[in-house]
Structures are given as C-alpha cells and as structure tokens.
C-alpha cells in the first residue's frame, strides 16, 4: 500500500497515518515500524514507535522526530510512504521544488545534507552563462524554442529554472 502526507508544523513531533492504512492492518496494532529512504542499495533503517489514540488513529511517534531532523523535512514537503508488509515504510521525500530530494547516502542524511542533483526535469542552473535568458514577459516564463518541451524561467537573483511543459501533450483532468 502507498499513501502520501504533507509535512505540517505539527508533523515534526509525530505523524498521523491514514485511516485506510490502519484498516488494512485488520486489527493488528504494531508497536514499532521501520522507516527507510526509498531507493536502491542499503538504506539506514529508522526504528519508530507507533502510538494509538482513543479513536483508533495511528501515529509514528518516538523516533519520528529524529527521522524528520536527519532528512531535514520541512513544512510543505510531500512524502510518499510505501508499506512492504514487514512493518517497514520506504519513504520518498519531495521538497518545495516539487522534485524528489536526493541524498548523497544515508551517512549524509544524519546531518541533513543533500545531493546537488535534482530530478532530471527540475534543476536550477546557477550561472548566467548557462544558455538560458530571462523572459521578457511579465510571468517570468518563456516559450521553449526547441522541441524539448521545457520553458525557462529566471529570477532577479540570477538563478534559472528549467520547467517542464506539456504543450500538445496536455491531457484533460476530469
């Protein structure tokens, strides 16, 4: 089972789990869960205690705060949890760029450092000689002149962001 949550201020000390996840456990009330960063290779397991309140809501409790600190989770971050039926969650972290956060490795996660690599369609180019120019229209966006499907946006601080565009490939949302 997979579900997502958005980090809110009150999420820093404990994290509520969805009611449908609790129902899926079919009455089983684990005392502990394990969390790990999603990805290939060996990942550090974070042992987190589980708490239940009187209405049956389930929370990641003691140990959650350390996970939040280690991965530098902030207000507004989007987390995707995948449960593997062995009391373990693989967690994907998406930050305010709407891209998955990538960490060098789990040793670096203990101090909140992150890799300089962003997902392949969302990265920031810090130099003005990157080939991207500031848009002349008010929105800050420019239409892609090539067929890559990307537009370029530049801010006053000299940073340029490549933004994926759907163009003709846009599909209606019903």
Which residue matches tokens 């690599």?
117
pLDDT tier at 131 (50, 70, 90 boundaries)? very low
Helix H, strand E, coil C: the string for the chain is CEEEEECCHHHHCCEEECHHHHHHCCCCCCCEEEEEECCCCCCCCEEEEEEECCCCCEEECCCHHHHHHHCCCCCCCEEEEEECCCCEEEEEEECCCCCECCCCCHHHHCCCCCCCCCCCCCCEECCCCCCCCCCCCCCCEECCCCCCCEEEEECCCCCEEEEECCHHHCCCCC
Task: Read off the tokens for 6.
Answer: 């958005």
The CATH homologous superfamily to which domain 2-109 belongs is: DNA-binding pseudobarrel domain (2.40.330.10)
The pLDDT tens digits for 41-94 are 788 999 999 999 999 999 999 999 999 999 999 999 999 999 998 899 999 999
Beta bridge partner(s), residue 34: 47, 88
CA 48 from centroid of its chain's CA atoms: 19
Give the start-to-end residue ranges of the domains of the chain.
2-109, 124-168
The pLDDT tens digits for 4-50 are 999 998 788 899 999 999 999 998 899 999 999 998 778 899 999 99
Q: How far is CA 47 from CA 16, 60, 87, 172, in A?
A: 16, 10, 10, 42
């Amino acid at each position: 089972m997979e579900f997502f949550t958005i980090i809110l201020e009150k999420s820093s000390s404990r994290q509520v789990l969805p009611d449908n996840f609790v129902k899926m456990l079919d009455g089983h009330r684990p005392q502990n869960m394990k969390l790990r960063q999603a990805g290939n290779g060996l990942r550090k397991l974070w042992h987190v205690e589980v708490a239940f309140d009187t209405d049956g809501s389930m929370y990641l409790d003691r140990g959650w705060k350390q996970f939040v600190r280690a991965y530098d989770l902030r207000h507004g971050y989007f987390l995707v949890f995948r449960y593997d039926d062995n009391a373990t969650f693989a967690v994907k972290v998406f930050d305010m760029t709407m891209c998955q956060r990538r960490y060098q490795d789990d040793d670096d996660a203990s101090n909140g450092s992150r890799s300089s690599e962003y997902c392949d369609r969302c990265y920031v180019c810090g130099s003005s000689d990157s080939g991207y120019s500031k848009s002349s229209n008010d929105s800050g966006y420019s239409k892609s002149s090539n067929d890559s499907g990307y537009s370029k946006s530049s801010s006053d601080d000299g940073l340029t962001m490549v933004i994926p565009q759907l163009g003709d490939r846009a599909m209606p949302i019903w």
